[in-house]
Amino acid sequence: MSMTLILGIITSIYLFLFLLLNHFFGRAHLSNGFLFFILICLVFITLFAYAGETDNQVILSFLMLCSFFLLFLLLFSVFIIIFRALFNGIQMIRHEGLSLANSLSLILGISMILFILFNCWIMIAFRGVSSNLLLDNTVAVLLIISDLAAGYFVVLYFNFSFASFFYSIYQPLRAVHYIIVLGSGLINGDTVSPLLAGRIQCGIKIYQKQTKRKRRPVVPKLILSGGQGSDEKISEAQAMKQYAIEHGVKEEDILLEDQSKNTYENMLNSKKIIEAREADIKKCRILFCTTNYHVFRSAVYAQRVGLRAEGIGAATKGYFRYNATIREFIALIKLHWKKYLIKMILFIMLCFAFSFLLMYMSEHSEEIRALLQSLNSHFN
């Protein structure tokens, strides 16, 4: 067994165990998405090394097929993203109506087309036309910076997608004591919407599963969290309570939290309710239910208020989820915009530093080769 294969196996196992620990103790981190992607790449490379050493044609053929598929996706990923964004945007407007929130995927698709056209126009317009070397270099640098910034956010979005997927595979194995259901807007000011009904049903399903257990059934409390908007006749929590009772939840098992205006307050106020009832909140197992695309950001807010809770997502329509995921990503960036701005600047600086290093090594390749040979002879 070669050193490459041994190193690949050890690194993959170590990274898998690290991700497993994160899965239980800190799943709401974007770094998990990046680490998950690295783990997949490591496993892929390790399998390639194993197939090459053992001459296993079955594994090798499968890996080659996967490689060609990934290469195809990489080459045409921009066009695939643009097509999907435009198609989804049209679907959203047709089904949900025209609004800024419903047009995010359409705006993304159009913005990507305009960005590509702008890049092409700049390259054509300034190629061999301007005699001002300083202007040419300035435009080139600005173009590279804009491309790197766009690339950074594309990578960040895929990282967010991986992290969200990694978070969503959680399923509660043990009984929970509290189930927080996060509210959303009501229809006509007093009626539960299909989206909100999905969240409540998600909580009811876990509630019924626990109460019907034959061995030591645990009756959890449902915390229905949602305040009253300016266009609503009753609070979201009150409407959710009526819906839950109609679908088999006992009134004494329901706790109302009707002061929240956003997800942060949902988590903060729900935590206060639990703390008022429990001597030690750390001994409680807490779960929150929301829509699948909203789970990751909700978990981030739960961490911010110091609430140890895991999230479960209710399913929603495919066309709605894509647009909503973009909205969630924007909201997450807005939440930590300073941190991501600093990281973007560092990323651009690192790319420039690496480029200058490659240029220097190319210009001084003979000197570097001679230095390496002298070092090699010295140690030998």
**Annotation: CATH topology of 176-335:** Rossmann fold (3.40.50)
Q: What is the 8-class DSSP label of residue 289?
A: E
Q: Which pLDDT score, from 0 to 100, does residue 181 have?
A: 97
Mean pLDDT to the nearest integer, 290-307: 91
Contact 181, 225 (CB under 8 A): yes
Q: Which pLDDT score, from 0 to 100, does residue 134 have?
A: 64
Of the given ranges (301-305, 314-318, 368-372), which has the lowest mean pLDDT?
368-372
Q: Which amino acid is at 374?
A: S
Q: What is the pTM for the complete model shown?
A: 0.77
Distance CA 276, CA 288 (A): 18
Mean pLDDT to the nearest integer, 236-248: 95
In the chain, what percentage of residues exceed pLDDT 90? 32
Q: Which of these, 235, 336, 326, 303, lies nearest to 27 by C-alpha position?
A: 303
Examine the pLDDT at 42 and tell me if it is beyond 60: yes
Q: Which two tokens stand for residue 278?
A: 């429990």
Where does the pLDDT of residue 261 fall: very low under 50, low under 70, confident under 90, or very high at 90 and above? very high
Examine the pLDDT at 24 and tell me if it is beyond 70: no
Q: How many CB atoms are closer than 10 A to CB 78?
A: 14
What are the tens digits of pLDDT across the range 107-150? 999 999 998 898 888 877 766 555 566 666 777 788 888 888 88
Q: Which pLDDT score, from 0 to 100, does residue 336 have?
A: 84
Where does the pLDDT of residue 342 fall: very low under 50, low under 70, confident under 90, or very high at 90 and above? very high
Examine the pLDDT at 53 and tell me if it is beyond 60: yes
Strand order in the sheet with 286-291: 254-257, 221-225, 178-182, 286-291, 309-314
- Between the ranges 112-126, 269-283, 348-362, where is the mean pLDDT highest? 269-283
Q: For 349, what's the count of Cα atoms within 13 Å in the CB-facing half-sphere?
A: 6
Where does the pLDDT of residue 379 fall: very low under 50, low under 70, confident under 90, or very high at 90 and above? low
- Listed by start position, the domains of the chain span 176-335, 337-380
106 vs 125, more confident: 106
Mean pLDDT to the nearest integer, 365-380: 72
SS3 content of the chain, % helix, strand, coil (to 5): 70, 5, 20
What are the tens digits of pLDDT across the range 182-220? 999 899 888 999 999 999 999 999 999 888 877 777 889
Q: Which pLDDT score, from 0 to 100, does residue 76 have?
A: 81
Mean pLDDT to the nearest integer, 317-346: 88
Distance CA 69, CA 89 (A): 26
Examine the pLDDT at 89 and tell me if it is beyond 70: yes
